[in-house]
Amino acid sequence: MVSSKLLVVFVLPVIFSIIFGSVVMADILQKPDRELNMWPMSFSDDSSSHDSSLTIIGLSNQYLVTQPIEVKVKVNDSSFNCGDLYITIYNSENDEVETQGAFFNQCLKNGDLFPINDKFSKIITVPGSYQLTADIVSSDLSNISTSGAFTIK
């Protein structure tokens, strides 16, 4: 008797939930303008825009191994309000991350350059080609990004 109550109370609701959820999901995905996006904060090329709404200020084409890389970022998008700034330097030869800086809760005021009240300054001691990428994820989870290349001698 206990096993039939266990089946009715615990197992059947789980089975019905899975079946009902699958039917609803299949119906929604049958509509041509719908897609399943389980990770809306993806940093792939599909969700980020590489355009003139973000500009890297102060990036030179060439640095010495003793010279710090100091950059600021300017947002040209009037709809941007607040977000998180990520500046990443990749080694162009093997696509490995050399260094990264994260600046959270950056809010635009009077045409400020990002990071506000902080500084991105990194020294890379290995000569080679590098790529600097600046990404801003706004509070509504939209992503704008830009990048620039430089070499270390």
Tens of pLDDT, residue by residue over 8-56, are 888 888 999 999 999 988 887 777 766 666 555 444 443 334 445 888 9
Name the 3-class secondary structure at 23: helix
How many CB atoms lie under 10 A from the CB of residue 83? 24
Exposed / middle / buried, residue 70 (Cβ in 10 Å: 0-12, 13-18, 19+): middle
Closest CA to 145 of 50, 52, 34: 50
β partners of residue 91: 130
Q: Is 138 helix (H, G, I), strand (E, B) or coil?
A: strand
Cβ contacts of residue 85 below 8 Å, gap of 6+?
A: 73, 102, 103, 104, 106, 114, 115, 134, 135, 136
Where in the chain are the domains?
Answer: 1-36, 48-152
Residue-wise pLDDT tens digits, 79-101: 777 889 999 999 988 888 999 99
What is the topology classification, in CATH, of domain 48-152?
A: Immunoglobulin-like (2.60.40)
Provide the whole-model pTM.
Answer: 0.63
